[in-house]
Structure 1
Amino acid sequence: MAALELRPFTVDVDEAVLADLRERLDRTRWPAQVPGVGWEHGADLGVVREVCEHWRHHYDWRAAEAVLNAVPQHLVAVDGVDLHLLRVPGVGPADGPPPPALLLLHGWPGSVWEFVRLLGPLSDPAAHGGDAGDAVELVVPSLPGFGFSSAPAERGWGPTRIAHALDALMRGLGHEAYAVHGGDWGGIVGSQLAALHPDSCRLLHTTMPVAPAPADPSPEEAERQRRMREHRARESAYHHVQRTKPDSLTLAQHDSPAGLAAWVLEKFHGWSDLDGGDLLATYDVDDLVTNLMLYWVPGSAPSAARLYLEHARDEQARALPPVTVPTAVAHFPAEPFAASREAAEPRYDLRRWTEMEVGGHFAALEQPAALVDDVQAFLRGHRGRLRPADGRLDRHTGAR
């Protein structure tokens, strides 16, 4: 495959955008909330207000820009969409082969910021107390319509088309064989990628396997399915809206930073393994705000939400094709959407299943060290699969 053109990218948000954001935060019209309901009716507006106060008066976007800009970034045109990606070279043993490639995929309402604490330990493990032989080259794109990737201008960009585009990206970068890790949409797209492109996407690591309920479930699985039905009845309003009428909802998020914060933070609260139920004791508030900024600054909340609608129309993805490449699951206890091992085994070639002690849906932010360890342990046992059978493409030119 011909090499793709990498256009260097630097995050440099105009000061006028930040001034406008501050003004909008100052002018937020805060509604009253029934006393004592907390998160029961949706977002706890006291917590949202606290985050917005920090966002307005203490948060330093330029510091977050510096973290992102310390990593090589590019825009790459694939299938009519500009994909924004972080690309971190692997630092392996001096006398060894080049490190293989690992594609890291985020979901909603997350962003590439989820992975910032994974970049160093995965790409240069020796510098972080690990084994240089575990090094990988990292490719970390924002999904189409998320972050600084451009929004698709036509219908049809569900998980299947995204998977095809990401395989074209990886092969266009010179990776004939690579591994993928993801959760949330990253898990759905990663599973689709491994199912449709097993010759190039050779390994799958995920925190969110997706599989149909077993036809003849065990008593434990039947109870789990009952709890999941209860969870969906209580917590899935966002999903129904975003898969049917997202544009009616996202105007508010596109126009109001406080509205965006309420919608997103409620999911971080509901899907995480919280320290005493306290969102701000579990997460660094700057991480929460930087994640919000990656929706606010590029105006990507509307296009990101549309992925739910596109998934509802993506019959190939909803058919859950079998994944025949070796798969590992890091199962975090507060992850609300992952299929159980009993359900996942018929769909995936499961080689590793790790029951984590703590953590939830946003594992890369909640438990980065545990996630790094599990990814490295899985890849360590299967690195031979990441060597192309007929030579290796040069990573930067595409030439053999």
Structure 2
Amino acid sequence: MTVTPFRIAVPDDVLSDLRARLTRTRFTTASDATSWAAGTDPAYLRDLVAYWADGFDWRAAETALNAFPHQVAEVAGSPLHFIHLRARRPEGAPAPLPLVLSHGWPSSFVEMLGVARRLADPAAHGGDPADAFDVVVPSLPGFLYSGLPQGPFTRRGVAETWHSLMTGTLGYDRYGAFGGDIGGGVTQWLGALYPEHVAGVHITSAVVSADFEKEPPTPAEQTYLDALAAYDIGDQGYSEIMCTRPDTVAAALMDSPAGLLAWIVDKYRDWSDCDGDVARRWDRDTLLTVATLYWATGSIGSSFRQYYDYHLNKRVPRVTVPAAVTLSNEPAFKDYPKSLAERVFADLRHWNTPERGGHFMAHEEPDQVAAELQAFFGPLRKTD
């Protein structure tokens, strides 16, 4: 398969149109006196939109992103964007173990860049160069520069595409996999489908995919499941509309950059480990880099496809390859019992609840995640 180098280059007219739209934004009034209680705070959004229109330097962000080796290849019949970082290791050192890092929604490849740097070039971050990994960071199908799949978007389908990328396109016979959210589901499927090629799997979002018909939940597990259901009542409105009427909301977000920004920032605040203070975790340039990528590619609607097709996902079979969980510190996984992960992973070798880093853990805590991956995958470099 042909792999083509790729550079991000947003046309000037797209940026000019974006600024013009931002300056014409009509803002709503708050529905609740408590800030953020009813969604993205209008006052916060007004300030962030003003900075996006007159202050944010996209070209500087673009240059920083293009410092990474972007590539595009046709995989499973659709264009797939990915970053491929080769390990910087001592001459004569054993071949590095490749790792594929998978993001979720409303995220992007940007989430994984800090971790990817630390893994591919540990010496530059105070580590041992012998610990370097090859790192592959794909954009999920329908996200940014990757095309939608030819069939439904399922986590199993993405795992099949990732395996084709890693083994067929890039020529790796054995690799490890890491991810959270959608990427965590993809990672589990990689371990379930390709145990002869996947050295191990590491996730941050310990999703529930156990078969409770065969073994009912324990009291601790049921307590967690009840708490999760209660949390979802207040949080799942966004997913309900994207599961049932994605094109309706996408029409608004494709036309209004302020609306797009509100939709994305709401989740960056709610799901990250920021205690409700967006600025504690996210500087404005980071948020606007992600939003500009979604805007320039017009991919917010296609990123909803995995929600619309969600009902087509099947339960992940029991995963037998070595597994690790570094549990996300976000409301959905508060008090998540280890036993639920053990129902899915037959060989759970690493379990950690650092209580730092939320839904976007790799972005929020890159040092922590890189250390966790090095600790887990280091011993797996050689076949057991």
Corresponding position of 2:305: 306
Corresponding position of 2:236: 236
Once the two structures are superposed, residues 142-164 of structure 1 have per-residue CA deviations (whole angstroms, 9 ceiling, x without a partner) of 01100111234x44222121111
Question: Pick from 38, 55, 58: which aligns with 2:52?
Answer: 55
**Partner amino acid for 1:52?**
V
Corresponding position of 1:66: 63
Specify the SS of the correspondent of 1:248.
Answer: helix
Asked whether the equivalents of residues 331 and 354 of structure 1 are also in contact (C-alpha less than 8 Å), the reply is: yes
Corresponding position of 1:292: 291
**Partner amino acid for 2:297?**
P
Specify the SS of the correspondent of 1:110.
Answer: coil
Question: Pick from 327, 334, 342: which aligns with 1:331?
Answer: 327
Which shifted more, 174-183 or 91-100?
91-100
Q: C-alpha distance in 2, partners of 1:16/1:111?
A: 24
Q: C-alpha distance in 2, partners of 1:289/1:84?
A: 21
Corresponding position of 1:149: 146
Which shifted more, 165-174 or 340-349?
340-349
Asked whether the equivalents of residues 91 and 99 of structure 1 are also in contact (C-alpha less than 8 Å), the reply is: no
- What does 1:191-202 align with in structure 2 at a 5 Å threshold? 191-202=188-199
Q: C-alpha distance in 1, partners of 2:153/2:329?
A: 31
**Partner amino acid for 1:378?**
F
Query: Residue 170 of structure 1: CA displacement?
Result: 0.4
Asked whether the equivalents of residues 272 and 335 of structure 1 are also in contact (C-alpha less than 8 Å), the reply is: no
**Partner amino acid for 2:301?**
P
Query: Residue 250 of structure 1: CA displacement?
Result: 0.8
Runs of 4+ in 1 over 6 A off after TM superposition: none
Q: C-alpha distance in 1, partners of 2:331/2:62?
A: 30
Once the two structures are superposed, residues 31-80 of structure 1 have per-residue CA deviations (whole angstroms, 9 ceiling, x without a partner) of 11235232211221222222212211111111121112111111100111
Asked whether the equivalents of residues 335 and 359 of structure 1 are also in contact (C-alpha less than 8 Å), the reply is: no
| 2:220 paired with 1:220 | yes
Q: C-alpha distance in 2, partners of 1:281/1:374?
A: 23
Asked whether the equivalents of residues 83 and 150 of structure 1 are also in contact (C-alpha less than 8 Å), the reply is: yes
Query: Residue 216 of structure 1: CA displacement?
Result: 4.0
Specify the SS of the correspondent of 1:336.
Answer: helix
Once the two structures are superposed, residues 107-166 of structure 1 have per-residue CA deviations (whole angstroms, 9 ceiling, x without a partner) of 1000011122112211010121011122101111101100111234x4422212111111
Q: C-alpha distance in 2, partners of 1:43/1:79?
A: 38
Once the two structures are superposed, residues 4-50 of structure 1 have per-residue CA deviations (whole angstroms, 9 ceiling, x without a partner) of 21111111111000001001111111111235232211221222222
**Partner amino acid for 2:265?**
L
Query: Residue 335 of structure 1: CA displacement?
Result: 5.5
Q: C-alpha distance in 1, partners of 2:79/2:354?
A: 36
Corresponding position of 1:211: 208
Q: C-alpha distance in 1, partners of 2:172/2:83?
A: 15
Runs (5+) with no aligned partner, structure 1: 387-400
- What does 1:106-121 align with in structure 2 at a 5 Å threshold? 106-121=103-118
| 2:78 paired with 1:81 | yes
Corresponding position of 1:176: 173
**Partner amino acid for 1:306?**
R
Asked whether the equivalents of residues 96 and 133 of structure 2 are also in contact (C-alpha less than 8 Å), the reply is: yes
- What does 1:339-378 align with in structure 2 at a 5 Å threshold? 340-348=337-345, 349-378=347-376
| 2:136 paired with 1:136 | no
Corresponding position of 1:322: 318
Aligned length: 378
| 2:344 paired with 1:379 | no
Q: TM-score, normalised by structure 2?
A: 0.94
Q: TM-score, normalised by structure 1?
A: 0.90
Which shifted more, 35-44 or 293-302?
35-44
Specify the SS of the correspondent of 2:157.
Answer: helix
Change (3 A) 1:374 1:163: same
Asked whether the equivalents of residues 96 and 381 of structure 2 are also in contact (C-alpha less than 8 Å), the reply is: no
Query: Residue 190 of structure 1: CA displacement?
Result: 1.0
